[in-house]
Structure 1
Amino acid sequence: MPWTNKASTVAMGKNSEQLASQYLQQHGLSLQSCNFQNRAGEIDLIMTQGTTWVFVEVKYRKNNHFGGAIAAVSLKKQQKIKQCAAFYLQQMGLNEYNTPCRFDVVAMQGDINAPVITWLKNAF
């Protein structure tokens, strides 16, 4: 059995996503959707910056043991996010090939109440 409590892990994830959303909105992005899911996977935040759709993966780690937050976004996770984004764009009536979009990662580390935030634009 894992050492973490599932409820506290989910709450921490929601908290980190809220912090990331606020951070990005302070930097000029507009929130469009949270926790969009389909069979391919989930996108934590969907935002826009001007005419560009921004699909954001949020990762929080208390410390950098095991590679930290950025290392947690594996190639497989990136592929799932891209598939999910293509489905989202299709649902919105947008063509994934003609719609400007990018994939960002917001990595947080340290105290959950005041984490160090690293925003990687065009991360993959």
Structure 2
Amino acid sequence: MENNIDKGRKGELIAKEYLVSNGYNILDINYRNKIGEIDLIALDKDILVFIEVKTRTNTKFGYAYEAVNRKKQEKIIYCSQLYIKQNRLLDYQMRYDIIEVYLTPNLKINHIQNSFC
């Protein structure tokens, strides 16, 4: 039986493959700094995208995106600002997305673009 960490890693891998197959260029995976972590960082053409991946096996306790509350959003935003400064990416437009991965018999991926800012 998989634990939550294994499910999360599996979901991130599925999300990464989904993004690559849709033309995204992956810049970083599980980026960490003193503020927090961002699951995936990618370029969608000329837009810098910070992606939070949420993986679930069912919706018994709600939809995956609901786990990205305001506090989590703020942490991702502050973390992304540090990433931008460290990597001198100030000239890019940016976007915050959530990808829901449902590990059900019929795998479901839901990509929510511009999910917060």
Same fold flag (TM > 0.5): yes
- Structure 2 distance, partners of 1:114, 1:64, is 14
Please give the secondary structure, in 2, of the residue aligned with 1:101: strand
Contact 1:68 1:109 in 2 (8 A): no
**Greater radius of gyration (CA):** 1
- The equivalent residue for 1:119 is 111
Contact 1:104 1:123 in 2 (8 A): yes
- The equivalent residue for 2:21 is 26
**Does 2:33 align with 1:43?**
no
Percent of paired sites with the same residue: 34
Cα displacement string for residues 60-107 of structure 1 (whole angstroms, at most 9, x for unaligned residues): 111112212011111111100000100000000122xx4201001001
Please, what TM-score do these two structures have when normalized by structure 2?
A: 0.91
Cα displacement string for residues 1-20 of structure 1 (whole angstroms, at most 9, x for unaligned residues): xxxx8x83222111110000
Shift of 1:114: 4.7
- Structure 2 distance, partners of 1:23, 1:63, is 20
Runs of 4+ in 1 over 3 A off after TM superposition: none
Amino acid at match of 2:66: A
Please give the secondary structure, in 1, of the residue aligned with 2:62: helix
Q: Specify whether residues 41 and 55 from structure 1 end up closer, same or farther in structure 2 by C-alpha distance, changes over 3 A only.
A: same
Amino acid at match of 2:112: L
Stretch moving more, 59-68 or 14-23: 59-68
Please, what TM-score do these two structures have when normalized by structure 1?
A: 0.86
Shift of 1:115: 2.2
5+ long unaligned stretches in structure 2: none
- Structure 2 distance, partners of 1:93, 1:116, is 35
5+ long unaligned stretches in structure 1: none
- Structure 1 distance, partners of 2:89, 2:101, is 31
* Residue-pair matches, total: 116
